[in-house]
Amino acid sequence: MKRSLIGVGLLLTACGAQQQDPQCVVARAVSDGSTGSFAVTYSPKPGQNPTLACLQLKSEAVGLQKFLNPDPAQKDTVGLRSGRLGGLLRNEAARVDTVQSRANAVGILETEAPGPDNFCEVPVLNAERVVLNAAGTKAAQDITYAWSGLRIYNTPDIPGTQFIADLTYTVDGCTAEFTARGIWPVVSCSTPDPVTKVLMPDETKCDPYADPPTRLRGSGINPSFPVKCDPSAFICVLTGEVPSVP
């Protein structure tokens, strides 16, 4: 028996020695296999004219996905798509200028594994853009999201569920710069007013913990993330920095 236990110990030691190094991952939705969406807030960078209309960019869901390169000698890529632009592509398909529009921002994931600060780096991405032609009473529109400096936080506790990036946002010639902060997953947090039926923010829906019998399950958001219900977008958004760690 003693000899058998020694053999098992050696086997476990050998297995431990062959454990894979940490890899850069990006959180994805698991219920339907779709691309993971992050609840993203935009903080204007200092020194800009506060009256600019394009500086009023509201929180939204942003799709984020890692794409594995079939060539092991080449680096993987990461793609983003603004929920706002995605909605225009769906709902205004007949007006989309397909030549000038680009649905996704894509950049090279320069790090295979998280760095010493636990971030995975995508420094450069192409811009995503939607150009809409005028039709009837609807005016032409040109919207560009130029992302850069995308950094995805990766630890065992936060496996690709927080990111920070720079964004240059342009609408019909008006340009503003932001710091974007995103958390996964996107959680809706609205409740209709019982009298007016107007949607109101509901902070309880951002609570990660269940509270039976009123709330049978939590939000699914990492309990270490400080969040609130965004009163305009009606999604739970990060109120702290990236990373917000346990």
Tokens standing for residue 230: 């965004």
Tokens standing for residue 20: 């894979």
Task: Identify the pLDDT of residue 21.
Answer: 62
Q: Average pLDDT per run of 10 along the chain, which is 246 residues long? A: 42 44 77 64 97 96 94 94 95 97 96 96 98 96 98 96 98 98 96 91 93 79 96 96 88
Task: Identify the pLDDT of residue 22.
Answer: 79
CA 70 to chain centre: 24
Task: Identify the pLDDT of residue 177.
Answer: 98
**Ranges of each domain in the chain:** 21-186
Residue with tokens 């996107």: 186
Q: Which helix (H) or strand (E) holds 13?
A: helix 2-17
Tokens standing for residue 224: 């270490």
Residue of 4, 59, 7, 39 lying closest to 182 (CA atoms): 39
